[in-house]
Amino acid sequence: MNSKVVSTQPIEGQMPGTSGLRKKTRVFMQPGYLENFVQATFNAIGGASGKTFVVGGDGRYFNATAIQTILKMATANGAEKVIVGQDGLLSTPAASHLIRMNKTDGGLILSASHNPGGIENDFGVKFNTANGGPAPESITNAIFAETRSILEYSIAATDDVDIHTIGSFSIGEMTVEVVDPVADYQALMASLFDFDKIRELFANGFTMRFDAMHAITGPYANAILANSLGAPKGTVTNGVPKEDFANGHPDPNPVWAKELMDLMMNDNGPDFGAASDGDGDRNMIVGRNIYVTPSDSLAVLVANAHLAPAYADGLSGVARSMPTSGASDRVADKLGIASFETPTGWKFFGNLLDAGKVTICGEESAGTGSDHVREKDGLWAVLLWLNILAERKQSMTEILTDHWKTYGRNYYSRHDYEAIPTDIADTLMSGLIEKLPDLVGQEFSGLKVSAADEFSYIDPVDGSVSHNQGIRIFFESGGRAVFRLSGTGTEGATLRVYLEQYVPTEADHSQETQQALTQVKQAAQQISELASHLGRTEPDVMT
């Protein structure tokens, strides 16, 4: 095998975000673009020589081609072994599990998560470390530094590797092991949950609809829900992964999973509905005539996790991202376990999980997971819900109603304003920051501000500090508004406004969510001068 060293030069804008590097697919397809980033990643971790990696992705357009490039670069950089999902497919949680199970030095996951796929849409690459979790800022910063100084990359001049056949192959001195992308993950799920109890649930007539959104979770859901647990035929829909997600948007929320929502929001709908995203790490949970916000789902799972075998001895703690509602905090307080508030990005949960400080983590952006891997895990959340439903023998509505009577209800919604010119978004945020010192005590739309700050996080494990993580405004009424610019888009800026209003246990919990949040929404728009900055007040997406 011949390897060659190719001269290159830095390419602007290769800064990895909270979920790696995401750009338009055609950008990644430019000569040298992927190669520069992969070489920079190898350089940032002290080289690839003698190391073992996991590689796989969600099957979106350019996935297979990118994997061949990575394999050729890995062998040219001296890697000993690469484990690849058959056909280049691996859900993000399954990749995390393979990294941990095989004790590899990390992995390269190819996905843009919930973003649309196809040649005209989005692609992404991220590096996960040996613990199975997304690279921390120290490594992503080192990768970025390498992208700004890179002058050459190494790649093997060889034919493509057969990644369609399970088995071991050689490329130069490196072994490529092609594995079933589902088998090991399925075995892990069987060790966590009472599959017999869930089989009994389906055998007794329980109905469910799982929308895989033509994304990576389809093969996993078919293998586990249909083949192993006996869910009726038709339970899994859109279960065949497509390079462009069948021209859909694989984001499991009421907007993009409208077909599922329409089915569930009537008296004849299934007992339980769920969906997952492009790379399988997010989830949406729906009951008949009731949508469960990700924040509420996290809280209910924490309150009931002991019903599943893996968590029967209780939880060490729970962590949530800052924009996520405080519903899980109330459960943790009643259970007498620790609770943590972190910046957005699953990597911030890694240290807490590794240190045993928390067992379950969650984000308002439909990500939930536990210490079984170091990623959020959509199908895991669905299976835990099924285990709870099998044990409690109640409907989704009954479980939610009981939860709110026990802990109170945190009405919650996220409003996304997409593709805003970056300078306008930055001006809005900087204006808010300037106002923070004077907001306390002021009244907006009938709500008095009790506290306001720009969130910073000190990691309780390693002492690292993360500044500028979003703006929080608290109201005396128990309401809260959060403003944050998202790092997951590929065009312009996305302003996310998170609205929350707590209603205590003894109050009425039947109010419609957006109505319950009216005052908080009005106050947030008044404080931020949103209309004058954006020329509108209605969001593009409301979840």
Q: Which domains does the chain have, with CATH numbers?
A: 2-179 (3.40.120.10), 185-407 (3.40.120.10), 409-542 (3.30.310.50)
Task: With cut-offs at 50, 70 and 90, classify the pLDDT of residue 501.
Answer: very high
Q: Find tokens 């924009």 and name the residue.
A: 323
Query: Which residues, 6 or more positions from 65, have their beta carbon under 8 angstroms from its beta carbon?
Result: none
For residues 194-215, average pLDDT: 98
pLDDT digits (tens, 9 = 90+) for 274-295: 999 999 999 999 999 999 999 9
- Which one of 113, 325, 413, 528 is the catalytic residue? 113
Let me know: does 79 contact 46? Beta carbons within 8 Å.
no
Predicted TM-score (pTM) of this structure:
0.94
**Can you tell me the distance from the alpha carbon of 394 to that of 428, in angstroms, rounded to the nearest whole number?**
46
The chain-wide mean pLDDT, for the chain, equals 96
Q: Does position 489 have pLDDT exceeding 60, yes or no?
A: no
3-state secondary structure 425-476: HHHHHHHHHHHHHHHCCCEECCEEEEEEEECCEECCCCCCEECCCCEEEEEC
Angle at 537 between CA 534 and CA 538, to 5 degrees: 115
Q: Does position 490 have pLDDT exceeding 60, yes or no?
A: no
> What pLDDT was estimated at residue 461?
93
For residues 499-509, average pLDDT: 95
Is residue 113 flagged as an active site residue?
yes
The CA–CA distances, whole Å, from 229 to 140, 162, 196 equal: 40, 32, 8
Helices (H) and strands (E) in the chain, counts: 18, 27
